[in-house]
Structure 1
């Protein structure tokens, strides 16, 4: 491999370790795990709590529980976004 290729690979490795250390460590040990973009455990939990609040708020006419359920559902939707960790406005250049 050329010197430039080695340098480019080291840069990619360092960026991966900085972005998702758990994934980089698992990949280095030969037992890769899912990257951070595909781990949604907390999002499912928040969504379940939101649906429970909405259901209870509709069963017992409680506007505050309905409002809490809607807010939590919005937060869960935000947690499902795979690009949420990337700062906005720093889009990579388009490739052809």
Structure 2
């Protein structure tokens, strides 16, 4: 011992590791992602293509992620007019109304 101080350091002694209870942190909220769904109504001819889905149910406990979602609806209406041929009697219309 030089000058009253120890010259060597003993290795640290470790006790058993203790697990503390889990804590829940405040929720972290990501910016809202915007989605647009467009609906178009048409008349179609059905063509059947059969398929099969097998559902496999698995249970896994891990993390909980939350994705709050809102939605809105926009209704659009379009009008189409077709003149298919020349009317037989167009005396109700001014001359040149149909371009001929």
Pairwise same-fold verdict (TM > 0.5):
no
Normalising to structure 2: TM-score of the pair? Answer: 0.20
| Bigger relative contact order (CA 8 A; separation at least 6) | 1
